[in-house]
Structures are given as C-alpha cells and as structure tokens.
Amino acid sequence: MAANQSPEQDQLYKIRHSAAHVMAQAVLELYPEAKIAIGPPIDTGFYYDFDLGRDENDKLRSFSP
C-alpha cells in the first residue's frame, strides 16, 4: 500500500487490478489472437487496450455511433 493511500483505497486498487485481469482473460477467450497492449487500474476504474487484428477492429467499428 502506498503511504498516501487509505486501506479502503488500497482495497479498491486491488479489486480494479483483479477486474482488469479478468476482463483481459475474457477477451482472450473470445479472441484468442488478440494482443494485450496496456491496461492499468486508474482512479475511476480500469482499462485495457487490445489489438484484435484488422478484421475484428473493422467489425467493431461498424457498431460505433
């Protein structure tokens, strides 16, 4: 735990960190060829960047508004 974090903040960080790993595993199960780029927990949650390959990225873009 960082010196400036409360125990609650430390627990929240750990939950977000674990959730990011669970999400990454789920994406890899759906898209085995996906490449994980970066994905840390952040103050408002967590994220990961993935490279799904050109075909999958084109399909996903068709869902964007």
Q: Are 36 and 50 in contact (CB under 8 A)?
A: yes
pLDDT at 3: 64
Q: Among 24, 16, 18, 23, which residue's Cα sits nearest to residue 46? A: 16
Q: What's the pLDDT band for 39 if we cut at 50, 70, 90?
A: confident
pLDDT at 40: 83
Q: Is the pLDDT of residue 20 over 80?
A: yes
Q: Where are the domains of the chain?
A: 7-61
Q: What is the CATH number of domain 7-61?
A: 3.30.980.10
Of residues 65 and 54, the one with the higher pLDDT is: 54
Interval 3-26 mean pLDDT: 90
Query: Using one digit for the tens of pLDDT, what is the confidence trace for 53-63?
Result: 777 767 777 76
